[in-house]
């Protein structure tokens, strides 16, 4: 790998204007292409074989308009009731406009008899249930805005209007602009301090920005053909900025050191790409592979997040290996212009060398203190509970949060996440003829009593109710089996209401109705209720009646996703740990160091999870992050964090071990090699970790609670990883002694030579050049 990278770096440095210009042209072209496709996203919560997915599939085949569920346009009157004449007229005008919208397949008017359940008891809050043509994956922001704009008659009348469901989510994606500015600004300050010159900072930042936004555009273009989750661009942005600056820092640090040693500019760039660039390829490739390993979890949403983030990281890696050397070639020796301090070398007598010497004197104490710190941080992970994003914690200026609060106020918090029950009937549904006969007989008797003067004529309200009851009993929805299932579910603890009547397909073989829980969609009570319905209530109710019922809907799908991730996490962890172990074994030809790194990184993951649980699930200091209270850990966050952390940890581990290997090759002293290697590497590792921590932490100010969790989790994970690489791992290597490089001879003979930074390549090359001259 060293030779091709050396030639690539040299080519980019010598053809700097062309390469740099090509990158700018590519970035502009791909951004324009992404703009033309609209960069569509979709949150695929299907879990093959799960109850919720069976419900969705059943409805898609027989009741397609219900498969996506309904989305509410929530109306809250600020003056009087919605049924007052001036408000009623505005609501009816809104309903008419929405019915005329080609994106609305059907709707339920809250002021109609069919929509009686869509009006609060005080009649001040109601919602129009929309069944849209497009599902969550196909609905774009422009279309969503057009739909919400049809509620202008209500808004003009002083009624507060908001959108819930996937319509509201589409319109409620908080901007990442402030996070980008803060993260990039913080990275610029750290780079100037570490590199010592303003112009030296420019190219890593420029490379990261161009690489990140090119990667986002590629993801946007890809999203036109395959599924890209809505949070994927934000996650790719976080990762891209972090690793983009980090990888560029590794390369430019080597380049500046070589320039200080008097090396010619183009040669220095080529060698920096061949050496530190090799570490970038290895570490970055590990991140990409770790993300792609999420495929083995068998979870579509997590798989999609994995490859989307992997695309973003891959583009940034290519930018660091091509655009950065081109930019350095353009700057030449001016890269050291606008100095803010005297340059330091990796090997000078800095505080980091003293830090390394302190670890060398007391490795046991150092390892023990580091491990104890991580164990304490990891303790809360024992209480981890995976759940779904809580829209009740979204910023109050988003329409999804406004609808959440209004629905909670008018109909209870559970109305924000109703279950969708899908039922198969074999034999098909038939009307309740027995009850219909009884009703008709009662009506005849009542009529005879009125005619005989023995009873008063029924009121108009009683007559209307009798007609509705008779109409219901004449329909297949009155099938006693179906009514019994609805009644039994309605009696279950924590169920607030069950919609009546059920909707059936023409053949009467499939029915659907909704269930409103008494707790929030993200609450643990809701998870228990879903399990209770599936395991106890439904099986007992249907018995051998020929009914098969599934609990579906977005809330149930998110619960199934959390359960599946909990079951899959050990397998994905085993795959990624095994892969990381194999790669480090091939790179450094030892079994001990990869084993120490794997164990340390597992502890680091546990510590990061522990902090995540303590802050978000237990609520320790969560209000400082802009949230109102504790929320569950979003189900896919830990899985994504693990893949990302193990990939990033390899980055710092490789950087440390290559420095240790260089020192060992120089003098053969094991202890001295570890101490001096750590002293040389620590400054760059801590700087790189600091940049990544600041970039990740900048996303905590994003309004999306899930993005906040990624920001906190990844920032803590990187900080913990820096502690491991700069404290625990070198201390353990010192304790193990020379056995740290142990590898069985029969195995070693069959291992390929995989030099990461390729120093041996240049030693051989320099000898050949010297011999030729």
DSSP assignments along 40-97, one per residue:
--------TT-HHHHHHHHHHHH-GGGTT--EEEEEEESSS-TTSHHHHHHHHHHHHH
**Does the pLDDT value for residue 38 go beyond 70?**
no
Give how far Cα 745 sits from Cα of 86, 578, 595, 749, 754, Å.
Answer: 89, 21, 18, 6, 17
**Does the pLDDT value for residue 349 go beyond 50?**
no
Q: Is the peptide bond before 773 cis (omega within 30 degrees of 0)?
A: no
178 vs 346, which has greater pLDDT? Answer: 178
Signed CA dihedral, 273, 274, 278, 281: sign only: positive
Nearest to 614 by CA among 601, 625, 599: 625
Region 464-487: mean pLDDT is 81
Residue 239: strand, helix, or coil: helix
- The residues that bridge with 280 in the sheet, in sequence order, are none
Strands 633-634, 386-387: pairing is parallel
The radius of gyration computed from the CA coordinates of the chain, to the nearest angstrom, equals 32
Region 41-54: mean pLDDT is 79
Residue 432: strand, helix, or coil: coil
Region 597-626: mean pLDDT is 90
Region 667-693: mean pLDDT is 86
The model's pLDDT over 505-559, given as tens digits with 9 standing for 90+, comes to 888 899 999 999 999 998 889 999 999 999 999 999 998 888 999 999 888 988 9
Region 195-210: mean pLDDT is 87
b/e per residue 568-577 (b: at least 16 CB within 10 A): bbeebbebbb
Q: Is 440 left (phi over 0), alpha (psi -120 to 50) or beta?
A: alpha
Give how far Cα 444 sits from Cα of 437, 440, 447, 560, 673, Å.
Answer: 11, 6, 5, 51, 101
pLDDT band per the 50, 70, 90 thresholds, residue 762: low
Helix axes 16-37 and 2-14, enclosed angle (nearest 10): 90
**Does the pLDDT value for residue 347 go beyond 50?**
no
Average predicted confidence (pLDDT) for the chain? 85
**Does the pLDDT value for residue 464 go beyond 80?**
no
Region 68-74: mean pLDDT is 86
Cα separation of 691 and 191, whole Å?
8
Model pLDDT, residue 148: 93
Residue 21: strand, helix, or coil: helix
Joined together, the tokens standing for residue 259 give: 């320039």
Up-side HSE of residue 679: CA atoms within 13 Å toward CB?
22
Q: Indicate the range of 81-95, 361-375, 561-575 predicted with least confidence.
A: 561-575
Overall size of the chain counted in residues? 773
Model pLDDT, residue 22: 94
CB atoms within 10 A of CB 86: 12
Q: Is 120 left (phi over 0), alpha (psi -120 to 50) or beta?
A: beta
Region 591-617: mean pLDDT is 89
Q: Indicate the range of 15-29, 497-511, 535-549 predicted with least confidence.
A: 497-511
Cα separation of 512 and 63, whole Å?
8
DSSP assignments along 381-404, one per residue:
GGG--EE---GGGS-TTSHHHHHH
Model pLDDT, residue 763: 65
Joined together, the tokens standing for residue 134 give: 């497009």
**Neighbour-count burial of 84, counting CB atoms closer than 10 A to its CB (0-12 exposed, 13-18 middle, 19+ buried):** middle
Strands 503-504, 495-498: pairing is unpaired
152 vs 231, which has greater pLDDT? Answer: 152
Cα separation of 490 and 143, whole Å?
36
DSSP assignments along 631-686, one per residue:
-PEETHHHHHHHHHHHHHHHHHHHHHHHHHHHHHHHH--HHHHHHHHHHHHHHHHH
Joined together, the tokens standing for residue 574 give: 């085993």
pLDDT above 70 covers what percent of the chain?
93
174 vs 564, which has greater pLDDT? Answer: 564
Model pLDDT, residue 496: 93
Q: Indicate the range of 402-411, 435-444, 505-514 predicted with least confidence.
A: 435-444
Model pLDDT, residue 535: 94
Up-side HSE of residue 761: CA atoms within 13 Å toward CB?
19
pLDDT band per the 50, 70, 90 thresholds, residue 758: low
Q: Is 196 left (phi over 0), alpha (psi -120 to 50) or beta?
A: left
- The residues that bridge with 423 in the sheet, in sequence order, are 511, 549
pLDDT band per the 50, 70, 90 thresholds, residue 137: low
Tell me the whole-structure pTM to 2 decimals. 0.83
The model's pLDDT over 279-306, given as tens digits with 9 standing for 90+, comes to 888 888 888 888 888 888 778 888 888 8
Model pLDDT, residue 769: 63
Longest dimension (CA), the chain: 129
| DSSP code of residue 728 | I
Model pLDDT, residue 768: 65
Model pLDDT, residue 292: 87
Give how far Cα 376 sits from Cα of 6, 400, 606, 673, Å.
Answer: 45, 38, 10, 31
Whether the CB-CB separation of 233 and 39 falls below 8 Å is answered with yes
H or E segment at 75? strand 71-77
**Does the pLDDT value for residue 139 go beyond 80?**
no
Q: Indicate the range of 433-437, 634-638, 722-726 predicted with least confidence.
A: 433-437
**Does the pLDDT value for residue 348 go beyond 70?**
no
Cα separation of 681 and 36, whole Å?
45
Whether the CB-CB separation of 137 and 226 falls below 8 Å is answered with no
Q: What are phi and psi of 130, to 5 degrees?
A: -105, 135
pLDDT above 90 covers what percent of the chain?
31
180 vs 102, which has greater pLDDT? Answer: 102
């Amino acid at each position: 790998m060293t030779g091709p990278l050396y030639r690539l770096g040299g080519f980019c440095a010598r053809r700097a204007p062309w390469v740099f210009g090509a990158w700018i042209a590519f970035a502009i072209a791909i951004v324009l292409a992404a703009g033309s496709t609209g960069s569509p996203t979709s949150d695929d919560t299907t879990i093959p074989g799960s109850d919720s997915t069976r419900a969705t599939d059943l409805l898609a085949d027989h009741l397609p308009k219900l498969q996506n569920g309904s989305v509410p346009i929530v109306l809250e009157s600020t003056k009087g009731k919605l049924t007052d004449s001036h408000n009623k007229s505005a609501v009816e005008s809104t309903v008419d406009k929405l019915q005329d919208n080609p994106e609305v397949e059907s709707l339920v008017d809250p002021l109609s008899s069919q929509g009686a359940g869509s009006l609060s008891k005080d009649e001040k809050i109601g919602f129009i249930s929309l069944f849209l043509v497009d599902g969550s994956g196909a609905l774009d922001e422009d279309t969503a805005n057009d739909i919400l704009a049809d509620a202008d008659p209500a808004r003009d009348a002083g009624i507060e209007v908001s959108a819930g469901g996937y319509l509201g989510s589409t319109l409620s994606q908080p901007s990442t602009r402030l996070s980008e500015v803060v993260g990039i600004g913080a990275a610029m300050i750290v780079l100037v301090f570490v590199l010592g010159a303003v112009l030296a900072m420019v190219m890593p930042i420029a490379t990261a920005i161009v690489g990140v936004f090119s990667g986002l555009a590629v993801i946007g273009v890809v999203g036109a053909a395959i599924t890209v989750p809505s949070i994927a661009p934000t996650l790719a942005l976080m990762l891209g900025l972090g690793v983009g600056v980090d990888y560029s820092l590794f390369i430019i640090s080597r380049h500046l050191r070589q320039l200080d040693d008097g090396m010619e500019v183009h040669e220095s760039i080529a060698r920096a790409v061949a050496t530190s660039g090799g570490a970038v390829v290895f570490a970055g490739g590990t991140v990409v592979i770790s993300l792609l390993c999420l495929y083995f979890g068998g979870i579509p949403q997590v798989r999609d997040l994995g490859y989307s983030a992997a695309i973003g990281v891959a583009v940034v890696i290519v930018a660091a290996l091509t655009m950065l050397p081109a930019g350095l070639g353009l700057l030449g020796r001016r890269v050291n212009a606008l100095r803010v301090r005297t340059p330091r070398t990796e090997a000078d007598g800095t505080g980091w060398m003293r830090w390394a010497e302190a670890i060398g004197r007391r490795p046991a104490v150092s390892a023990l203190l580091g491990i104890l710190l991580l164990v304490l941080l990891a303790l809360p992970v024992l209480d981890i509970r995976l759940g779904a994003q809580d829209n009740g914690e979204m910023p109050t200026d988003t329409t999804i949060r406004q609808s959440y609060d209004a629905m909670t106020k008018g109909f209870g918090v559970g109305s924000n996440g109703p279950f969708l029950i899908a039922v198969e009937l074999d034999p098909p549904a038939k009307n309740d003829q027995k009850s219909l006969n009884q009703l008709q007989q009662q009506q005849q008797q009542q009529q005879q009593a009125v005619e005989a003067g023995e009873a008063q004529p029924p009121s108009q309200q009683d007559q209307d109710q009798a007609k509705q009851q008779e109409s219901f009993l004449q329909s297949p929805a009155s099938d006693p089996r179906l009514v019994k299932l609805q009644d039994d579910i309605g009696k279950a603890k924590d169920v607030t209401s069950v919609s009546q009547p059920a909707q059936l397909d023409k053949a009467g073989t499939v029915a659907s109705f909704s269930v409103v829980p008494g707790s929030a969609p993200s609450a643990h009570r809701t998870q228990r209720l879903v399990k209770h319905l599936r395991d106890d209530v439904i099986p007992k109710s249907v018995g051998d009646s020929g009914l098969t019922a599934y609990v579906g809907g977005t809330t149930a799908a998110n619960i199934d996703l959390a359960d599946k991730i909990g079951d899959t996490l050990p397998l994905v962890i085993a795959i990624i740990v095994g892969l990381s172990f194999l790669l480090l074994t091939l790179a450094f030809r030892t079994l001990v160091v990869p084993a120490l790194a794997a164990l340390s990184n597992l502890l680091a993951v546990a510590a990061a999870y522990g902090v995540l649980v303590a802050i978000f699930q237990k609520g320790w200091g969560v209000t400082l992050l802009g949230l109102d209270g504790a929320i569950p850990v979003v189900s896919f966050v830990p899985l994504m964090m693990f893949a990302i952390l193990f990939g990033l940890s390899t980055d710092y581990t490789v950087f440390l071990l290559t420095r240790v290997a260089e020192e060992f090759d120089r003098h053969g002293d094991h202890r001295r090699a570890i101490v001096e290697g750590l002293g040389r590497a620590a400054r760059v590792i801590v700087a790189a970790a600091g940049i990544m921590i600041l970039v990740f932490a900048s996303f905590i100010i994003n309004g999306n609670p899930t993005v906040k969790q990624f920001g906190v989790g990844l920032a803590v994970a990187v900080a913990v990883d820096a502690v491991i690489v700069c404290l625990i791992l070198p201390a353990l290597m010192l304790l193990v002694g020379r056995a740290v490089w142990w590898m069985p001879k029969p195995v070693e003979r069959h291992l390929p030579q995989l030099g990461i930074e390729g120093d041996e390549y240049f030693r051989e090359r320099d000898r050949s050049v010297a011999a030729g001259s």
